[in-house]
Structure 1
């Protein structure tokens, strides 16, 4: 029996992503498609909204970036170009779509993300970094095409003011979602640093773990899956043994001002990330 959510999209699970500029590119899009294909029950579609189709796999449906004729905010932390996806139309897609960031890792079935809530609901990942704030995370969230038009209109009216008030686009979506935002189960989408990285001092002896109930692992704030695979710290390509890292505590070039913050950032290589984050 087809659920109401899938019935609203013609019985097809619709997964989307967005790619612009040169930060990520085809390798990230292709890798994300492969992870989705391995972890979803067909039928499904995978659509990338992009300004560059070169190098993308033939199975990926490509659409031009939706137009958004505004000047994007400057000196803000949120990824506001995602607002392009909030318009009344989204290429040829209709009904609920599941948005995925390019730098997350799919480690389990995505089917349940199309079973929770109703076809007209906006369902977000819980933001684990602000437990006292009922805040969603837009690294992975589901919404019906056209439902976020009021948000796009409000953003278009004064992009910088909206960015200054809400700081992150995920807070803007959570606070202004028509009908209110619902949430996927907390353990479905895990935060690599909070849920997988070992606490100090175990991070010097044990690699990051993958909880059995995880389906997706996100890597926000500059830490990419490749960093986890390599066991990098500082997120600038530096790989060190535990002893070398501890010695770096006394380096004048140390990035983190807090010694404890510096020590707890160390991670050993994570083979399970490489196992999943591949074509």
Structure 2
């Protein structure tokens, strides 16, 4: 188990991880299963078909096509800001969001000037789909596994921040909505304003969006099979680091602002704590 020094005041690391795949009665899930399987096949075809059509189009046309694709995929986005307001609010900023599912990039790519930092995917299907979504939406991504490339792009971003909103998930892992893993400070202390983005996800049938032991492929396919999933996106006030504030203190400040908005705990458990817990947890997914 993780060291006691990392504990927060309320949830344990186990409380931030859900082993069960489903909650509640199974009847409706089994009745829905044939339709869900058909939706997965049709939606994967739609991703390929619409992305290939949108690929050569101008950005404005891509954004329209991407909205159509999200409708086909059953992804609903709720945001109190209009696209123009989001563009003005996030322009030239780093947008730090809590991480709740493998689908989080779907609503983000619908936002203006979105550039997403990605590391890797444990599912080839998920990686291929993400590539097509970038081509369809007009959004861009940075491959952060290459540290030299990341450093160069950060320098370029600082020289010309206008027209870009750089999205990152400082937890570097996925929580279950009951609390936040501690934010890592590396991407939040770049001399740029940071806009906290609080995400909520509503999924039907008692589905757990990120079961602790499930593969990335199965998490992706289960979400794709849902009739409708809803993302609620709340952009909070920009945060600016003070002169005498440490890197971690600034990251904690951003984490706390999101946690307060979502009315959940801002924990000091880290990604490493989660994976240590997962390696010792013997419960089978159900």
* TM-score under structure 2 length normalisation: 0.30
Taking CA–CA contacts closer than 8 Å with sequence separation of 6 or more, which of the two structures ends up with the larger relative contact order? 2
* TM-score under structure 1 length normalisation: 0.30
Higher helix proportion (structure 1 or 2): 2
